[in-house]
Amino acid sequence: MDSMFLRGMRFIACHGVLPHEREIPQSFAVDVELGLDLRTAGESDDLDDTVNYAAVYHAVSSIMNGAPKQLIESLAEEIAEDLLRQFLPLRRVRVTVHKPAAPIGGFFSDVGVSILRRRKDTVW
């Protein structure tokens, strides 16, 4: 299966469990990898034969900039469900949400979750 990806999408938002996380915006990054057949688009050179990655960015942005969530797991799940619902050529989607400034109280370079979701009607 072919893939399309958007990596390092950056957002400033108020997601988190702690009260200050829901009041003071913090940095998040999101990566998505989309599994789909790109052969037709590669042969036709026609945007209508693929998934428009600008539309994917807009869908992710709407969720990241939307209603606050407590868990980044919830953000990842909502993004995956939304992308599979909106973009019918997709067979699978991997979503990674990074929270590099998570309130852990120690030194680290990144914290995040990564999920893989498949369209329910897809045979593997």
Assess if residue 124 is contained within a domain.
no
Partners of 115 in the β-ladder: 95
CA dist 91 and 97 (Å) reads: 20
Q: Report which of 112, 44, 45, 53 is spatially closest to residue 86, judged by C-alpha positions.
A: 53
Assess if residue 123 is contained within a domain.
no
Mean pLDDT of 2-14: 98
Q: Which two tokens stand for residue 86?
A: 């909106």
Give tens-digit pLDDT for 52-83. 999 999 999 999 999 999 999 999 999 999 99
Looking at 69, 91, 98, 99, which residue is catalytic? 99
> Domain residues for 69?
2-118
This prediction's pTM: 0.94
- 81: domain CATH number? 3.30.1130.10
Assess if residue 73 is contained within a domain.
yes
Q: At what angle do helices 72-86 and 53-64 cross, to 10 degrees?
A: 140
Give tens-digit pLDDT for 25-55. 999 999 999 999 999 999 999 999 999 999 9
Residue 99 is among the residues annotated as catalytic for this protein: yes
Q: Which residues contact 121 (CB under 8 A, 6 or more apart)?
A: none
Helix residue ranges, H only, 39-97: 39-44, 53-64, 72-86
Query: Using 50, 70 and 90 to split pLDDT, how confident is the model at 123?
Result: low
Phi then psi for 10, rounded to 5 degrees? -110, 140
Query: How many independent structural domains does the chain possess?
Result: 1
Assess if residue 110 is contained within a domain.
yes
